[in-house]
Amino acid sequence: MKRIYMDYAATTPTHPDVVKAMKPYFADMFGNPSSIHSFGRESKEAIEQARDKVANLVGARNEEIVFTSGGTESDNFAIKGVADANKKKGSHIITSAIEHHAVIEPCKFLETQGFKVTYLPVDEYGMVNPGDVKKAITDKTILISIMHANNEIGTIEPIEEIGKIASEKGIYFHTDAVQTAGHIPINLKELPVDLLSMSAHKLYGPKGVGALYIRKGVQIVSFMHGGDQEHRRRASTENVPGIVGFGKAAEIAKSEVEEERKRLTVLRDKLIKNILQIENTRLNGHPSLRLPNNVNVSVEFIEGESMLLNLDLMGIAGSTGSACTSSALEPSHVLLALGLSPEVAHASLRLTLGSETTAGDVDYVLEVLPGIVKKLRLMSPLYKKK
């Protein structure tokens, strides 16, 4: 059976050129980058070349990129590291109700350590209001963390405006760009952002490697203590093949980002337009300010999980939300924050597109989905009561 992958927000396949670039660093060029002999030097050189490529993807300087084990570590590093380094200045953090757990959980942890966190609400499209950010600032605020785009609903947040507000007040601004780096252009030469998280596996790189951009001068404490790697910001022997792969993926993404964005937007819009033809469906997230590859709809009176299983039987891989929480039965905190009832939140389906998605795949989904919805609604007690 034909298999169609539409869960690119969960992870992407590693690009064949990325695999090729990584391969020599497993066995032939295995040196420890901290060693001073030639084996070590060639690994070190590979890391620095990768750092240049990742920096170039987002318009940063090479020395402002610290490699990590992924998006989660980058978020934790940014939030806990800035909080710890600046606790004498203040103990208040502003974030939003729809952040990824990799931001929400470190914030919750900091609340147990005496910090105060404001979780800003969002509007019906999942948009944070910069005016609310401004109002929430106190003389104790040391950090604002608002994601660049939401992983579930695809809404792109007004980070430029929020960053300006933060910078005018002398408050650090962190953004989780795990879903945007490599998918929409980012230029940190112009964007007022102090810290930015990325993850390689969301942009056709390998899993288990990410980066945190730390603007020069930001006061931050490391939480991995040990050796002097990454300019003493992140101890532990570097994941050389992973970092090399991330570099290659960043280089490819930089050259393809514009074209791919246009191509995917057309496919996304076709999917959305046609799915919304099915009665009692609604689009979750912003209609236009959304990731080029994100479709998130609620198909009322049906459980998202049943839709997923039925789509899977037809070879289509989608999701109901974030992969990290898809085993939880709780409705998504993101969809609830939009004001959806738990029932409508449970009825969500997320299809995220990527490099292998073709117009034929979109047609196939549109051919199969209405039948699945019809079948499940006939079985749904909620639908019968309607």
Note the residues at the interface with ligand PLP (CB under 6 A): 70-72, 75, 100, 102, 147, 151, 176, 178-179, 199, 201, 210, 322, 324
Give the span between the Cα atoms of 355 and 106, in whole angstroms. Answer: 32
CB closer to ligand PLP out of 181 and 372: 181
**Residue 11 Cβ vs ligand PLP, minimum distance, rounded to whole Å:** 8
* Cα distances (angstroms) measured from residue 273 to each of 279, 283, 296, 367: 12, 9, 12, 14
**Residue 74 Cβ vs ligand PLP, minimum distance, rounded to whole Å:** 8
Burial code of 186-205, b = ≥16 C-beta within 10 A, e = fewer? Answer: bebeebbbbbbbbbbbbbbb
Give the span between the Cα atoms of 45 and 247, in whole angstroms. Answer: 12
* DSSP designation for 7: B
**Residue 320 Cβ vs ligand PLP, minimum distance, rounded to whole Å:** 14
| Helical residues (DSSP H) of 67-177, grouped into ranges | 71-85, 101-112, 130-136, 159-168
Instruction: Give me the amino acid identity at 168.
Output: E
Polymer length of the chain: 386
**Residue 75 Cβ vs ligand PLP, minimum distance, rounded to whole Å:** 6
Burial (CB count <10 Å: 0-12, 13-18, 19+), residue 280:
middle
Cβ atoms of 122 and 93 closer than 8 Å: no
- Beta-strand runs (E) in the chain: 4-5, 65-68, 92-96, 116-120, 141-145, 172-176, 195-199, 210-214, 281-283, 294-299, 316-317, 348-352
Distant-in-sequence, close-in-space partners of 118: CB < 8 Å, separation ≥ 6: 92, 93, 94, 95, 136
**Residue 200 Cβ vs ligand PLP, minimum distance, rounded to whole Å:** 8
Q: Which residue is nearest to ligand PLP (CB)?
A: 71
CB closer to ligand PLP out of 223 and 383: 223
**Residue 126 Cβ vs ligand PLP, minimum distance, rounded to whole Å:** 13
Q: Which of 276, 324, 359, 379 is catalytic?
A: 324
CB closer to ligand PLP out of 183 and 263: 183
Instruction: Give me the amino acid identity at 153.
Output: I
**Residue 152 Cβ vs ligand PLP, minimum distance, rounded to whole Å:** 8
CB closer to ligand PLP out of 32 and 326: 326
CB closer to ligand PLP out of 70 and 130: 70
Instruction: Give me the amino acid identity at 219.
Output: Q
CB closer to ligand PLP out of 95 and 281: 95
DSSP tally for the chain: helices H, then strands E: 13, 12
CB closer to ligand PLP out of 178 and 347: 178
User: What is the token pair recorded at 138?
Assistant: 């106190």
The verdict on whether 324 is a catalytic residue reads: yes
Catalogue the active-site residues.
324
